[in-house]
Amino acid sequence: MPMKIRSDVALTFDDVLLVPRRSDVRSRKQVDTSSYLTKQIRLKIPIVSANMDTVTETRMAIAMARQGGIGILHRFMTIPQQVEMVERVKRAESMIVDNPITIAASATVQQARELMAEREVGGLVVVSDEGKLLGMVTTRDVLLAVNGDAPVSQVMTPRERLVVAGKEETLESAREKLYQHRIEKLPLVDENDRVVGLITAQDIVKIQEHPNATKDARGRLMVGVAVGARGEDVERAQACVEAGADVVVIDIAHGHSDLVLDMLRTLKKKLSVPIIAGNVATAEGVRDLAEAGADAVKVGVGAGSICITRVVTGFGIPQLTAILECAREGQRLGVPIIADGGVRNSGDLVKALAAGASTVMLGSALAGTDESPGASVVREGRRYKVVRGMASLTANIQRKAIEKGEISEEDWGEVVPEGVEAIVPARGTVVDILHQFVGGLRSGLSYAGAHTIEELWKNAEFVPITQAGYRESGAHDVSKI
């Protein structure tokens, strides 16, 4: 059989530069950085935090959504743990808390303290067995209480002293009540005085502080969840969507497989939220996933900084070429492409979007931030955070432990890792990193003469460069200070 070799050279980000164009963009503020994550969800900034266990858990998902992007919660945990993370993101910011955390009047002060600490809230609604409003207890009420065994009823603000509103309360009316009465929480009750919601001053402030936040129809932060392609992952996806997840990502290294296609068709029948599938690196992969119902496709095989799939298996396509090929098919079919892997800086972000991606997934670039769940380590006086590929040895073993409840020596021997564990420098907050990436994107749009990412697709022209050209692109012939 004749050997098959593609004649075109496949390229990645360092192999090219974008050609500057005449621009009528007079200010970076004039450009629009919004783009579609899926057919149904448009983000203010085209950045998604990766579904890695050293990148995205609750804090990262909240921070990403507040800045106009979105976070995808990883799946390397039990279903109840993932569901709880979804619920925490949904409670972090909303106009109305639909299911406020409640406590019985007979519960102890210590129990109230523990519940507030566990659920990371500053107050609890005290209710009867029938769900009727009896009072409110806040951190202030229990913080300095001497007797932790005293009932909550002794320290709470009772019903008769509370300001309450009906379930149809508007944001402006609630703001006025909170200001007039100098209170922080406004319980909402129905005609039978049963608690149906809660509006807090903190949530109203957050709405003002984060005007570009990615939110659902009920004013809550949006969040995605990753699932696998096994039978039990259907239950995981359903549980997370019931808890409020807005998008589900089928998280498989080789997404162009019958296993993923079958899972995709199953989830499309059972769920009402958009489904993202991947990863793929070819136009055929995009086409097959789109025909199976994918609302977006994740592109990238072996491009991540902690991924060694190409070394272990010999398979993969350099990321820029993969994006170019997949985006052409995605745009033909009306399916957004998510570039996943290889983006280290804002220039790579611009190149990925110029090649046709609608959004870009960041992993290692966010792993060093304060909001990432990776462990902190100190080396020679500098702080770092741990990052690992989800096909690394320890990630595989952790997944087996979750699935089986225990691991054996055999389990360790069976793993052939396609990822590594590493450390990255501590980088401050997610806000700081996103500011740099989005600022670079705004400048990139102006160099392309584009006001939107869609215009960038049309205007972009790449030029291959040599290693000398690459060296010329950075600081050279000087000593940095």
| N-to-C CA span, the chain | 58
Q: Check whether 228 is labelled as a binding-site residue.
A: no
Cα 56–283–365 angle (5° rounding)? Answer: 25
Q: Which one of 307, 362, 424, 438 is the catalytic residue?
A: 307
Q: Are residues 311 and 427 in the same domain?
A: yes
Residue span of the structural domain in which 450 resides: 13-92+213-473
Q: What CATH number corresponds to the domain at position 190? A: 3.10.580.10
Q: Is residue 25 included in any domain, yes or no?
A: yes
Q: Is the pLDDT of residue 398 over 80?
A: no
Mean pLDDT of 351-367: 97
Q: In what order do the strands lie in the sheet with 133-138?
A: 102-104, 123-127, 133-138, 157-158
Q: Are residues 327 and 456 in the same domain?
A: yes
Question: For the chain, what is the mean pLDDT?
Answer: 90
Q: Check whether 300 is labelled as a binding-site residue.
A: yes
Q: Is the pLDDT of residue 304 over 60?
A: yes
Mean pLDDT of 338-348: 96
Q: Check whether 253 is labelled as a binding-site residue.
A: yes
The string of pLDDT tens digits covering residues 119-173 is 888 889 999 999 899 999 988 888 878 788 999 999 999 999 999 998 788 878 8
Return the half-sphere exposure (C-beta side, CA atoms, 13 A cut-off) of residue 276. 34
The string of pLDDT tens digits covering residues 233-272 is 999 999 999 999 999 999 999 999 999 999 999 999 999 9
**Residues in Cβ contact with 148 at an 8 Å cutoff, skipping those fewer than 6 apart:** 108, 109, 110, 113
Q: Are residues 33 and 68 in the same domain?
A: yes
What confidence score (pLDDT) does residue 94 get? 76
What confidence score (pLDDT) does residue 203 get? 79
Domain final residue pick, 155, 176, 201? 201
Instruction: Give the whole-angstrom CA distance, residue 12 versus residue 174.
Output: 52
Q: What CATH number corresponds to the domain at position 328? A: 3.20.20.70
Residues 285 and 254 sit within 8 Å (Cβ to Cβ): no
- b (16+ CB within 10 A) / e for 350-386: bbbbbbbbbbbbbbbbbbbbbbbbbeeeeeeeeebbb
The string of pLDDT tens digits covering residues 426-470 is 999 999 999 999 999 999 999 999 999 999 999 999 999 999 988
What confidence score (pLDDT) does residue 209 get? 84
Q: Are residues 84 and 108 in the same domain?
A: no
Q: Check whether 255 is labelled as a binding-site residue.
A: no
Q: Are residues 75 and 44 in the same domain?
A: yes
Q: Quick one: tokens of 187?
A: 């319980």
Residues 335 and 295 sit within 8 Å (Cβ to Cβ): yes
Residues 81 and 213 sit within 8 Å (Cβ to Cβ): no
What confidence score (pLDDT) does residue 8 get? 84
Return the half-sphere exposure (C-beta side, CA atoms, 13 A cut-off) of residue 251. 24
Q: Quick one: tokens of 140?
A: 């202030």
What confidence score (pLDDT) does residue 197 get? 87
Q: Are residues 299 and 338 in the same domain?
A: yes
What confidence score (pLDDT) does residue 419 get? 63
The pTM of this model reads: 0.84
The string of pLDDT tens digits covering residues 191-244 is 989 998 888 888 788 878 888 999 998 889 999 999 999 989 999 999 999 999
Q: Are residues 73 and 157 in the same domain?
A: no
The string of pLDDT tens digits covering residues 52-93 is 999 999 999 999 999 999 999 999 999 999 999 999 999 888
CA-wise closest residue to 271 among 225, 231, 222, 238: 238
Q: Are residues 88 and 106 in the same domain?
A: no
Instruction: Give the whole-angstrom CA distance, residue 183 versus residue 201.
Output: 8
**Residues in Cβ contact with 116 at an 8 Å cutoff, skipping those fewer than 6 apart:** 122, 123, 124, 139, 142
Identify whether 307 is a catalytic site residue.
Answer: yes
Q: Is residue 86 included in any domain, yes or no?
A: yes
Q: Quick one: tokens of 296?
A: 């977006």
Q: Are residues 109 and 60 in the same domain?
A: no
Q: Check whether 304 is labelled as a binding-site residue.
A: yes
Q: Is residue 190 included in any domain, yes or no?
A: yes
Q: Is residue 429 included in any domain, yes or no?
A: yes
What confidence score (pLDDT) does residue 181 get? 87
Q: Is residue 478 included in any domain, yes or no?
A: no
Q: Are residues 87 and 106 in the same domain?
A: no
Q: Helix or strand or coil: residue 80?
A: helix
Q: Are residues 192 and 235 in the same domain?
A: no
Q: Quick one: tokens of 261?
A: 């296609």
What confidence score (pLDDT) does residue 388 get? 82
The string of pLDDT tens digits covering residues 14-41 is 999 999 999 999 998 899 999 999 999 9
What confidence score (pLDDT) does residue 266 get? 97
Instruction: Give the whole-angstrom CA distance, residue 370 versus residue 281.
Output: 32
pLDDT band of 182, cuts 50, 70, 90: confident
Domain final residue pick, 139, 167, 201? 201
Instruction: Give the whole-angstrom CA distance, residue 408 versus residue 417.
Output: 17
Instruction: Give the whole-angstrom CA distance, residue 327 versus residue 392.
Output: 29
Instruction: Give the whole-angstrom CA distance, residue 301 versus residue 316.
Output: 5
What is the 3-class SS of 361-393, one letter each residue? EECHHHHCECCCCCCEEEECCEEEEEEECCCCH
Q: Are residues 86 and 111 in the same domain?
A: no
Domain final residue pick, 201, 228, 262? 201
Q: Check whether 323 is labelled as a binding-site residue.
A: no
Mean pLDDT of 262-284: 97
Q: Is residue 457 included in any domain, yes or no?
A: yes
Q: Is residue 330 included in any domain, yes or no?
A: yes
CA-wise closest residue to 336 among 283, 281, 295: 295
Across 14-63, the runs of DSSP E, i.e. the strands, are 16-18, 35-36, 42-43, 47-49
What confidence score (pLDDT) does residue 415 get? 55
Q: Check whether 316 is labelled as a binding-site residue.
A: no
Please indicate whether residue 394 or residue 465 has the higher confidence score (pLDDT). Answer: 465
Q: Check whether 252 is labelled as a binding-site residue.
A: yes
Per this entry, what is the length of the chain? 481
Q: Is the pLDDT of residue 390 over 80?
A: no
Q: How many domains does the chain have?
A: 2
The string of pLDDT tens digits covering residues 96-123 is 787 889 999 999 999 999 998 888 888 8
Instruction: Give the whole-angstrom CA distance, residue 388 versus residue 305.
Output: 9
What confidence score (pLDDT) does residue 172 get? 82
Q: Is residue 2 included in any domain, yes or no?
A: no
